[in-house]
Amino acid sequence: MVSAHTSPLAPLGGRETGGMNVYVLELSRELGALGYEVDMITRLDGDLPLVQQVERNLRIVRIPAGPAAPIEKEAIAGHLGEFADELQRFTAREGRGYDIVHSHYWQSGRPGGVLARRLRVPHAVMFHTLGEVKNRARISEEEPKDRIRAERGIARRADAIVTASPHERQLLEMYYGADPARMRTIPCGVDLNLFQPLNRDDCREKLGLAPGAPVLLWVGRLEKLKGVDILISALAELEEPGVTLLIVGGDDRASALRAELQRQAEEAGVAANVRFEGPVAHDRLPIYYSAADVCVVPSYYESFGLVAVEAMACGTPVVASRVGGLVSTVVEGVTGYLIPWLCPEPFAEKLEVLLHNPELRANFSRAARSSVERFRWRNIALQVAAMYDEAIARRRSRSRPNEGAGFGKEAYEAAVLAGR
């Protein structure tokens, strides 16, 4: 697993640390549990061991490239060539081959592709977000041309592409000409043991919230694309008095946006209702989800949207924008509402409906939990493993008989037979 710009072990809720970090770590863990040996490869960004065993069958490998300190995502591009070379040196030194290389995000796609070509093994890719889509959403700064070029090249050359939703698959085909035969739509997973409905009153007490008060929750990386401004305006429109909005996520690097949102809340007269909680450790989030009446995901775009699924796993209804992966996770009128217009009024309208109607919330809550069973990590890892097998088999049928031998199918079938 190549994740060049951000470590799968980094604390979550920062500007760059969110769904992708969770995805790489959880998928790798689950593959490890199925019997695959997985290395998560990232850039060395601190005084940390170069190779570290994380759990059985799972290591993190930190490749020195550029300063051994955190650097902006944009600056990493300048070190990717070095990253690719050092990565190759590492594999040569270790004498460790891989049967497949799976790269995450466009910045890993290039060095990951180089490694796969050097090892003559298939290259699988997951983009997580697409530059072209961000540009079309037109709310963040223009994504660099180099990103779009790189994504197109990676998408066309990759042996296998995981898309988190059917929508992402369409976009890859439409914008980048990716071959549909090599794409597999496999949703992200959720840890259903961690994300469970907890006692609401206990959770509220832990967070200093009154038992009967209406509470809305937003969770994520604090960036413009997430549409928190829409939510604050919607809050100001609510007739329901005393609604608290908890905003979880956003480290120091998001301080400019936080200040902007704070100003917006002051101007709208709801500053006293908004609590900025900062980043919260992933395993404490069930307390937040369970304490809230509704989780709101007002993003301009979301390729999957783990937060919505985590909230539903905790039995919390979701009001989300009708974009990207959210369309395939939130069930309209059953587990939440999908809002097609990215403006405050329709969000406020649906929030009122849910806040005024405890019975409806209870129905949504029950449906929400059962609707996310399909995202259990084990199911997801098995689908990804099957995709690896296909890519390996395709390559074997095209090239030398021994390439990529010994990986995948046997372990996968054994796990299926053992019911793991």
Site map 10..29 versus ligand UDP, x via CB under 6 A:
--xx----xxx-x-------
Nearer to ligand UDP, 279 or 315 (CB): 279
d(Cα 250, Cα 246) in Å, to the nearest integer?
12
Question: How many positions of this chain bind ligand UDP (CB under 6 A)?
Answer: 20
Site membership for ligand UDP, residue 322 (CB under 6 A): no
Nearer to ligand UDP, 279 or 317 (CB): 279
Nearer to ligand UDP, 122 or 189 (CB): 189
Ranges within 182-221 binding ligand UDP (CB under 6 A): 219-221
Nearer to ligand UDP, 91 or 316 (CB): 316
> Using an 8 Å Cβ cutoff, are 338 and 326 in contact?
yes
Nearer to ligand UDP, 113 or 220 (CB): 220
CA distances from 60 to 20, 38, 50, 82, 204 (A): 16, 9, 8, 19, 37
d(Cα 211, Cα 51) in Å, to the nearest integer?
47
Ranges within 229-248 binding ligand UDP (CB under 6 A): 248
Give the amino acid at 241.
Answer: P
Q: Of these, 8, 112, 214, 249, which contacts ligand UDP (CB under 6 A)?
A: 249
Q: Output the six-digit token pair for 48.
A: 């940390």
Nearer to ligand UDP, 363 or 379 (CB): 379
DSSP assignments along 62-126, one per residue: EE--S-SS---HHHHGGGHHHHHHHHHHHHHHHT---S-EEEESHHHHHHHHHHHHHHT--EEEE
Of all residues in the shown chain, the one whose CB is closest to ligand UDP is 18
Ranges within 261-320 binding ligand UDP (CB under 6 A): 279-280, 282, 285, 304-307, 310
CB atoms within 10 A of CB 291: 27
330 CB-near residues (< 8 Å, 6+ apart): 308, 312, 318, 320, 336, 337, 338
Nearest distance, CB of residue 104 and ligand UDP, angstroms: 11
Nearest distance, CB of residue 308 and ligand UDP, angstroms: 7
Ranges within 145-184 binding ligand UDP (CB under 6 A): none
Nearer to ligand UDP, 209 or 248 (CB): 248
Number of alpha helices (DSSP H) and beta strands (DSSP E) in the chain: 17, 13
Q: Which pairs from 138-142 meet CB under 8 Å and 24+ separation?
A: 139/224, 139/225, 139/227, 139/300, 140/223, 140/224, 140/225
Nearer to ligand UDP, 11 or 49 (CB): 11
DSSP assignments along 12-64, one per residue: SSSSS-SHHHHHHHHHHHHHHHTT--EEEEEE--SS--SEEEEETTEEEEEE-
Site map 324..363 versus ligand UDP, x via CB under 6 A:
----------------------------------------
List residues binding ligand UDP (CB under 6 A).
12-13, 18-20, 22, 219-221, 248-249, 279-280, 282, 285, 304-307, 310
